[in-house]
Structure formats: C-alpha cells, structure tokens
C-alpha cells in the first residue's frame, strides 16, 4: 500500500495534488511520500518484533539526505556500500554503530574513514579484503568488527542482473569454505568476528530462496559456534520484492518474511539484522513526466514524454515494468489506446513501455511512473546533457524540493578546461 491515490480523478501524493507539484517544480521529477516510507520501515520493524533486531535500510535504493533523515528518525540503521554512502549516512545523523558496510571492493581509504568515524560491522566479501581490513585496523590501533558474507549458492529466482547468491556471482565467499575463512579471521588481531552475513539478490518474489539460504546460515552458525567463534549477529541482507505490476503480482509481505525468519533462525539466540532497500523506497516514490508529443508511427502510437532512460533506467537496464498512470484521470467511457511510451534520448532503448493500454493522452498531459522510488533517482545520469531531475518529498499537505534541478550552467561548469585550450 502507498499514499499515491486518486481523489476526484486527480492523483495525490498524500494530501498534495501531484499536478500542483508539477506546476511548482517543472517536469520531470521524482516525488516521495513520507507516510509510505515510514509505513514500510515499520512493517519490517514490526515483522521482527520479539527478536533482538535492527533494520538497516539499504540506502543505495534511494539516498537523498531527507529520505535518510526520515528513516533515521524512526531508528533505522543503514547498509552502505561505499565511502560516499557512509558520508551520506553520517551527514544524515545516523550513528556509526547503526551503520553496516557491505560491498565487494572496499578500498583501504574507505576502510580507514569508516573505522575512524565508527561502524557497527564490516560485511567482508573476500579473504584479500579481510586482510586489508585487518591491516588498516592494526595500523590505527583499533579492532574492526566483522561478519563474513557467505554465498550459499541458492537461486534467488530473480532477474540475472540482480541475483547475487549463486556460486557464479562475485559476491561473498563460498559457504563450503566458511569454516576455513572464519578460522583465519579469528587469527587476525585487528578483527573481531561478530556474525555471519548473507544477501542473495533483489526483487525476490518468493520466500523459498530466502528460507533455503537462511537454513544454510543456521547450520553454519552452529558449526562456527562449535569451532569456538562467537556468533552474536546474523545479517540476512535485503531483497524482498515489491508488486511492480499491481494487476498480477503479490510478493510475500514483510510480516510473512519476518515469521519465516523467526521460524528458521529463532532458536539461535542471535541478533537479526535485515537490509531492505527496494521494499522501503520503491512504492514510496513516483516519477512524474509530461507528454511532449503524441506521434503516429506506421503501425503504432508513440507517447513521447519528457522523462527518459537517463532519469529512470530500470526499463532499459532490467526490462523492468512500471505501472504508468495519468495524473488526471480521463472521463469514464473512453476507449483505451495502446502506446509505446518513450523518452527523448537518442537510443531505441529509451523505451518505458510497448503497446501499453492507456486512456487517450494529449501533449501537455502529466503521467506518473509508479514504484519508481527505489533504484530510480540514484541511478540517474546526465546522458544527452539532461540535468538530473529534482526530488520532492511530501509529508501530509506539505511538500519540499529535497534536491533541486541544476541549471545548464551548473552542469557545464563542472567541466574544466585544460590550459592548452
Ligand atoms: C542491494 C543490497 C541490499 C538491498 O536490496 P533490496 O532488494 O533493495 O532490498 C541489501 N544488502 C546488500 C548487501 C545489497 O547489496
């Protein structure tokens, strides 16, 4: 459920008409709902009630400072995957002991920054990285808390580009080698083992792959404990999917996910961390765009809109579906038209939908791409020299621009000219 609903035929973001925001900030833009962000965070928090837990928002899904502050105020931790994300989390006021650092290629510079600023744990993804964290920690005279990310070789049954838990993926160490790697970790004086980490992919629409992976982690927990390691924490990753296509998909709910986690891992007396990103931010955001032209092709109608693949790359990159709806609903009774909905970028891949049935639209009409809150703005680029589009946050009857649209001049002035020109 989200808070983008129609009232008398007009799409609202909470209590604000979307058309009013469009008039104020221009199109295209991203618009997020505070109530939806908060609701989704609480769903996870409540799903794990009764076990010691921390919900660490995977901020790569949407990392605007205002979004981070909204979630941090509810007690969220953060899962960060770069020095830049760590800096964003700290700037948003998240304490270091609520930040976990994931990612396959942490540099020594990033490791040192994070150790100096405070960190809950590093999720270590390889032995060379483990050595690097140890070396930096020893040099700084501190001890780095770590988990090792294990790769359970489980098929997440999701898009190949966002599956991370099979042996052919670059993530984690094979679970079959975990005991050996933990023995090595225990011998390194700059490290303190605190738990195990696993994350098998994103946009999972079934619980079974999670459960398979978590059963393997439960078994490993008992083996590692019998080897003498202190396993006080299990980081279960993120990945729970969202219903991009409302008409025909219903992924498991956080409550069902939480119940499974308690059933599979509840007996271990460990603290549980989860790292949801998409499920918190995805349906909490829309991208609003305006129709520039309606163009009749040989055998189809094109809706050429002012948003493009550089603003929302998911359809081009993952063949992803976004529900696309008119901001002002048409009069009832009009026959739907099938449109190819495309952006202005000079690539055929700049196509949001093909043959999508919509009520008839005309130049100047506003449309909204639903479920665009996660992996939307954060993946945007300035391809075709299209400035990054603004982000707006709504709360009740208020809205605020939380990242403004840069001017052409600002965009150009980031380049510098060498002395020989
Ligand atoms: C991307 C990622 C997540 C979040 O995945 P979602 O599908 O957005 O929930 C969590 N943990 C790690 C390590 C990730 O890389």
Q: Is 85 in the pocket of ligand 1 (CB under 6 A)?
A: no
Q: Is residue 318 part of a domain?
A: yes
Angle between helix axes 127-140 and 108-117 (nearest 10 degrees) is 50
pLDDT of 187 over the 80 cut: yes
Q: Is residue 338 part of a domain?
A: yes
One domain, residues 186 and 291: no
Task: Give the range among 18-27, 154-163, 330-339, 362-371 with minimum mean pLDDT.
Answer: 154-163
Arithmetic mean of pLDDT, 246-251: 80
What is the average pLDDT score of the chain?
96
Q: Is 158 in the pocket of ligand 1 (CB under 6 A)?
A: no
Which of 198, 237, 376 has the most ligand 1 atoms within 8 A of CB, as the residue to mutate? 237
Q: What is the pLDDT of residue 225?
A: 98
Q: What is the pLDDT of residue 48?
A: 98
Arithmetic mean of pLDDT, 109-138: 98
Domain end: 225, 257, 281, which one?
Answer: 281
360 is in an annotated binding site: no
Give residue 105 CA to ligand 1 midpoint distance, Å: 15
Q: Which atom of ligand 1 is nearest the CA belonging to 275?
A: 10
In b/e form, how buried is each residue of 147-186, taking b as 16+ CB within 10 angstroms? bbbbbbbbebebeeebbbbbeebebbbebeebeebbeebb
Assign 369 to helix, strand or coil.
Answer: strand
DSSP strands (E only) in 50-143:
53-58, 77-80, 99-101, 121-124
Q: How do residues 280-301 score in pLDDT, each as one tens digit? A: 999 999 999 999 999 998 999 9
One domain, residues 270 and 347: no
Q: Is 237 in the pocket of ligand 1 (CB under 6 A)?
A: yes
Arithmetic mean of pLDDT, 320-325: 97
pLDDT of 164 over the 90 cut: no
- Residue 166: which pLDDT band, with cuts at 50, 70 and 90? confident
Structure pTM? 0.97
DSSP letter (8 states) at residue 250 = -
User: What span, in angstroms and rounded, lies between the C-alpha atoms of 118 and 101?
Assistant: 11
One domain, residues 364 and 322: yes
- Residue 248: which pLDDT band, with cuts at 50, 70 and 90? confident
Q: Is residue 418 part of a domain?
A: no
One domain, residues 265 and 406: no
Give residue 90 CA to ligand 1 midpoint distance, Å: 19
Give residue 247 CA to ligand 1 midpoint distance, Å: 25
Q: Is 14 in the pocket of ligand 1 (CB under 6 A)?
A: no
User: What span, in angstroms and rounded, lies between the C-alpha atoms of 60 and 44?
Assistant: 18
One domain, residues 344 and 207: no
Domain end: 255, 281, 307, which one?
Answer: 281
One domain, residues 150 and 269: yes
Arithmetic mean of pLDDT, 91-114: 97
- Residue 73: which pLDDT band, with cuts at 50, 70 and 90? very high
Task: Measure the CA dihedral 38/40/43/46, to 10°.
Answer: -40
Q: Is the dihedral of CA 180, 186, 188, 193 positive or negative?
A: positive
Angle between helix axes 178-186 and 127-140 (nearest 10 degrees) is 10
| Contact assessment for residue 78 and residue 94, using Cβ atoms and an 8 Å cutoff | yes
Q: Is 285 in the pocket of ligand 1 (CB under 6 A)?
A: no
Which of 275, 276, 318 has the most ligand 1 atoms within 8 A of CB, as the residue to mutate? 275
Q: Is 151 in the pocket of ligand 1 (CB under 6 A)?
A: no
End-to-end CA distance of the chain: 55
Give residue 79 CA to ligand 1 midpoint distance, Å: 8
Q: What is the pLDDT of residue 165?
A: 84
Q: Which atom of ligand 1 is nearest the CA belonging to 278?
A: 8
- Residue 1: which pLDDT band, with cuts at 50, 70 and 90? confident
Whose CA is closest to 103, among 62, 161, 141, 59?
59
One domain, residues 289 and 301: yes
Q: What residues does 303 pair with on adjacent strands?
A: 294, 341
Q: What domain range is 364 assigned to?
A: 4-31+283-413
The burial of 274, by beta-carbon neighbours within 10 Å (0-12 exposed, 13-18 middle, 19 or more buried), is given as buried
User: What span, in angstroms and rounded, lies between the C-alpha atoms of 7 and 255?
Assistant: 29
318 is in an annotated binding site: yes
Residue linked to tokens 């984690």: 172
pLDDT of 249 over the 80 cut: no
Q: Is residue 378 part of a domain?
A: yes
One domain, residues 188 and 332: no
Domain with 234 in it: what CATH number? 3.20.20.10
One domain, residues 130 and 268: yes
239 is in an annotated binding site: yes
One domain, residues 382 and 397: yes
Q: Is residue 419 part of a domain?
A: no
Whose CA is closest to 308, among 403, 357, 244, 376?
376
SS3 content of the chain, % helix, strand, coil (to 5): 35, 25, 40
Asked if residue 90 has a cis previous peptide bond (ω within 30° of 0), the answer is no
Q: Is residue 421 part of a domain?
A: no
One domain, residues 169 and 212: yes
Q: What is the pLDDT of residue 127?
A: 96
- Residue 223: which pLDDT band, with cuts at 50, 70 and 90? very high
| Contact assessment for residue 72 and residue 51, using Cβ atoms and an 8 Å cutoff | no
- Residue 247: which pLDDT band, with cuts at 50, 70 and 90? confident
Q: How many helices (H) and strands (E) does the chain have?
A: 12, 21
Domains in the chain, number: 2
Question: Which tops the pLDDT comparison, 297 or 188?
Answer: 188
Q: Is 197 in the pocket of ligand 1 (CB under 6 A)?
A: no
One domain, residues 345 and 364: yes
410 is in an annotated binding site: no
Q: Is 28 in the pocket of ligand 1 (CB under 6 A)?
A: no
pLDDT of 138 over the 90 cut: yes
Q: Give percent of the chain above pLDDT 70.
A: 100
Q: Is residue 305 part of a domain?
A: yes
DSSP 313-348: -HHHHH-----EEESBPPPTTPPPEEEEEE-SSSST
**Which residues are known to be catalytic?**
346
User: For 277, phi and psi rounded to 5 degrees?
Assistant: -120, -65
Domain with 404 in it: what CATH number? 2.40.37.10
pLDDT of 368 over the 80 cut: yes
Give residue 359 CA to ligand 1 midpoint distance, Å: 36
Task: Report the nearest-CA residue for atom 3 of ligand 1.
Answer: 238
Q: Is 276 in the pocket of ligand 1 (CB under 6 A)?
A: yes
277 is in an annotated binding site: yes
- Residue 167: which pLDDT band, with cuts at 50, 70 and 90? confident
Domain end: 281, 310, 345, which one?
Answer: 281
Give residue 276 CA to ligand 1 midpoint distance, Å: 6
238 is in an annotated binding site: no
Q: Is residue 275 part of a domain?
A: yes
């Amino acid at each position: 459920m989200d808070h983008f609903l129609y009232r008398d035929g007009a799409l609202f973001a909470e209590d604000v008409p979307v058309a009013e925001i469009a008039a104020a900030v221009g199109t295209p833009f991203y618009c997020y709902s505070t109530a939806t962000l908060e609701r989704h965070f609480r769903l996870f928090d409540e799903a794990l009630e009764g076990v010691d837990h921390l919900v660490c928002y995977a901020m790569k899904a949407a990392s605007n400072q205002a979004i981070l502050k909204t979630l941090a105020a509810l007690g969220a931790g953060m899962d960060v995957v770069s020095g830049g994300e760590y800096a964003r989390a700290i700037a948003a006021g998240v304490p270091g002991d609520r930040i976990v650092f994931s990612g396959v290629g942490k540099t020594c510079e990033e490791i040192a920054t994070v150790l100096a600023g405070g960190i809950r744990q590093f999720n270590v993804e390889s032995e060379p990285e483990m050595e690097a964290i140890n070396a930096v920690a020893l040099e700084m005279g501190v001890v780095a808390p770590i988990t090792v990310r294990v790769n359970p070789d489980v098929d997440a049954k999701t898009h190949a580009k966002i599956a991370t838990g099979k042996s052919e993926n670059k993530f984690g160490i094979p679970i079959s080698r975990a005991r050996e790697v933990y023995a090595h970790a225990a011998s390194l004086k700059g490290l303190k083992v605190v738990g195990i980490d696993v994350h098998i992919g994103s946009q999972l629409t079934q619980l079974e792959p999670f459960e398979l992976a978590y059963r393997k982690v439960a078994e490993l927990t008992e083996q590692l404990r019998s080897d003498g390691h202190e396993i006080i924490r299990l980081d279960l990753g993120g990945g729970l999917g969202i219903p991009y296509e409302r008409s025909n998909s219903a992924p498991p709910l956080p409550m069902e996910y939480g119940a499974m986690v308690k059933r599979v891992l509840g007996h271990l007396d460990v603290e549980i961390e989860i790292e949801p990103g998409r499920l918190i931010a995805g349906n909490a955001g829309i991208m609003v765009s305006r129709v520039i032209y309606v163009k009749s092709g040989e055998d189809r109608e094109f809706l050429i809109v002012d948003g493009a693949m550089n603003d929302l790359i998911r359809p081009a990159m993952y063949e992803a579906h976004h529900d696309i709806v008119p901001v002002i609903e048409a009069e009832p009774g009009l026959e739907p038209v099938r449109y190819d909905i495309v952006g202005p970028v000079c690539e055929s891949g700049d196509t949001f939908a093909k043959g999508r049935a919509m009520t008839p639209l005309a130049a100047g009409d506003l449309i909204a791409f639903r479920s665009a809150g996660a992996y939307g703005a954060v993946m945007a680029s300035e391809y075709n020299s299209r400035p990054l589009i603004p982000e707006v946050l709504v709360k009740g009857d208020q809205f605020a621009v939380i990242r403004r649209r840069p001017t052409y001049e600002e965009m150009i002035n980031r380049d510098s000219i060498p002395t020989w020109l």
